[in-house]
A and B are shown apart, each in its own frame.
Chain A
């Protein structure tokens, strides 16, 4: 049913979406040099994770402190393909086993491991970027949500998974590249990804994929499933007695968030030419939650701004006071949770949005036009429709 509120919410989302699209597709590319733009591209890869967190944490009420795992899985899937492409027998002729990635050779591995084989194919790698994180999330989700593990316990378990994953990757050096990760990635189907023009093109690919992800997230949230998520967050039991399988909905939204993170990870690999366990562990996973919290955990657009602003602040702050950054980050998180739990988007909908009709009326009157009533009702602050 189309109502004044939903129509207003719909319109304000698309206005916000257009502004964001203009910012990342026009304003930033025109303002910044390739180096800085590349950095923004990096922040935007985290935005994929933050948007996923809005879905699963903000709406689904599932706080995952292990999203870095899915970011890493997506990133590694693509990195494996790129590494194999640059490890041709000719390029690796000096190795004792030519044709396998250099780090395998250093670790006395003499044949390509079976699970690397499928990643010789780009289509397989591209599918794996989404499917591998989603399947892993599905396994975790079934194990946890079918047993009704939730809340803090789920958060702790995902954090443990992030720690285990890091240890696994670092420990299995011969298969994963260890602590250095998979590095020295050069070409994608023969196209050099290290040049400035490639970096610019990849920035735009990344930005467009992010916008597509936002449209998908918006579509999910405005479907009946989105309303079920909101209902579940408050009254999980009641949703069961409305005839829904709560576990299945949680699994779904967790898988979607994982798949989005995977895409972000893959775009990171492409833009920076490597993937390493430093994006998988506990600290990066918590940072990703902070991006979503600062932006506003009920706003998919806010999440993108959260990722941009926090990372921008991080790069400025950590240049000046490298040791203090972690403390500042922790302080920021506490401040957000205590003072403005709905983040920047919440501040916007409480303080800025109510003023917009007045500003519009004022603008009308100064132009000598009669101030007309605005059609939409002002959405109530802090409620579900702050997107």
Chain B
């Protein structure tokens, strides 16, 4: 794995390191994601998968290394600037705005009027209404637009969160265990939904469900103790002896 500087990656992570109280959660990690690539990160608990996502979206600050997305170093930017640069994040626990309606949740994710005065004078236009309506259709919530989000079921909240990401339309989407905690039927419906929304963008998924991983991944990165243990196609990593030992073996 080496960076060829002439190739344009959608996302290039190099030498990324962060430690919490002396414990290196991510240790000199390098990772390259192409345009329109779907990359799945797997690994045992505590391998640093979620921390990598936190580092990319600015929730955690790196001690060393760079995260270059479309020519911009994300390690020097604030969370909201990173979002504005085109990075979207789906959280492990559905986090929607419980006091607002489904419509308002989606509307707030629309990537315009994000400054203080921009939002003060923002008036929804036809394009926004169209986009929100279309997304609500996709996430099976077209009949719930005026419902308060806090009253939705767990699965519906998860869909709403996906919908908020869709309205945001990020060039790089990060999904943290998108099918965790779902019933079998919800899981199937969500998997279908994810298939639709991961088109035309780069996606990084952290997931434990191996059938789901095999289903969507273009390439798989296996993390262990904060660094990359193995990388390649699903078949490749599955046949890697070290991967079997630390993760897939049991």
Contacts and interface: CB of A to CB of B under 8 A. Distances in A.
Interface string A224-261: 11011011011101101111111011001000000000
B233 interface: no
Contact of A243 (B59, B111, B122, B146): B111
A380 interface: yes
Contacts of B59: 237
Interface residues of B, number: 37
A231 B124 contact: no
Contacts of B108: 224, 227-228, 231, 242
Nearest to B128: A1
Contacts of B96: 235, 238
Contact of B99 (A1, A220, A233, A241): A233
Contacts of B79: 240-241
A246 B81 CA distance: 12
B97 A225 contact: no
Interface centre among B80, B91, B109, B168 (most CB of A within 10 A): B80
Contacts of A235: 95-98
Contact of A240 (B80, B104, B109, B146): B80
A261 B126 CA distance: 38
A130 B97 CA distance: 33
Contacts of B83: 240-243
Contact of B146 (A5, A228, A238): A5
A384 interface: yes
A223 B111 contact: no
Contacts of A237: 59, 95
A225 B146 contact: no
A383 B100 CA distance: 9
Interface string B231-247: 00000000000000000
A3 B144 CA distance: 13
A243 B110 CA distance: 10
A246 B59 CA distance: 14
Interface size classification for chain A: 20 to 34
B202 to A, nearest CB: 17
Given A1-B103, A5-B146, A223-B122, A243 B114 contact: yes
A242 B164 contact: yes
B100 A243 contact: no
Interface in B177-220: none
A142 B167 CA distance: 31
Interface string B75-107: 000111001100011010001111111011001
Contacts of B107: 224, 227
Contacts of B97: 230-231, 234-235, 238
Given A5-B146, A235-B95, A380-B148, A227 B116 contact: no
Contacts of A380: 148
B110 to A, nearest CB: 9
A383 B120 CA distance: 22
A267 B164 CA distance: 45
A234 B120 contact: no
A227 B105 CA distance: 9
Contact of A384 (B99, B120, B129): B99
Contacts of B115: 245, 248
A224 B119 contact: yes
A225 B121 CA distance: 9
B166 interface: no
Nearest to A232: B97
B57 A241 contact: yes
A297 to B, nearest CB: 14
Interface centre among A4, A234, A243, A380 (most CB of B within 10 A): A243
Contact of B119 (A228, A234, A383): A228
B16 to A, nearest CB: 20
A244 B98 contact: no
Interface centre among B99, B104, B113, B168 (most CB of A within 10 A): B99
A224 B103 CA distance: 12
Nearest to B121: A223
Interface centre among B78, B89, B119, B124 (most CB of A within 10 A): B119
Interface string B51-88: 00000010100000000000000000011100110001
B52 to A, nearest CB: 16
Contact of B113 (A3, A4, A224): A224
A241 B84 CA distance: 9
A237 B121 CA distance: 23
Given A4-B146, A230-B97, 20 more contacts: A1-B103, A3-B103, A3-B146, A5-B146, A223-B120, A223-B122, A224-B119, A225-B119, A225-B122, A227-B104, A227-B108, A230-B100, A235-B98, A241-B80, A241-B83, A241-B88, A241-B89, A243-B84, A245-B78, A383-B99
Interface of B: 57, 59, 78-80, 83-84, 88-89, 91, 95-101, 103-104, 107-109, 111, 113-116, 119-122, 124, 129, 146, 148, 164, 168
28 contacts: A1-B103, A3-B146, A4-B146, A5-B101, A220-B120, A223-B120, A223-B122, A224-B113, A224-B120, A225-B116, A225-B120, A225-B122, A227-B100, A227-B108, A230-B97, A230-B100, A231-B99, A231-B100, A231-B108, A235-B96, A235-B97, A237-B95, A241-B57, A244-B114, A244-B119, A245-B115, A380-B148, A383-B148
Q: Nearest 9 CB-CB pairs, A to B?
A: A243-B83, A231-B97, A240-B79, A224-B122, A224-B119, A225-B119, A252-B116, A238-B95, A225-B120
Interface of A: 1, 3-5, 220, 223-225, 227-228, 230-231, 233-235, 237-238, 240-246, 248-249, 252, 380, 383-384
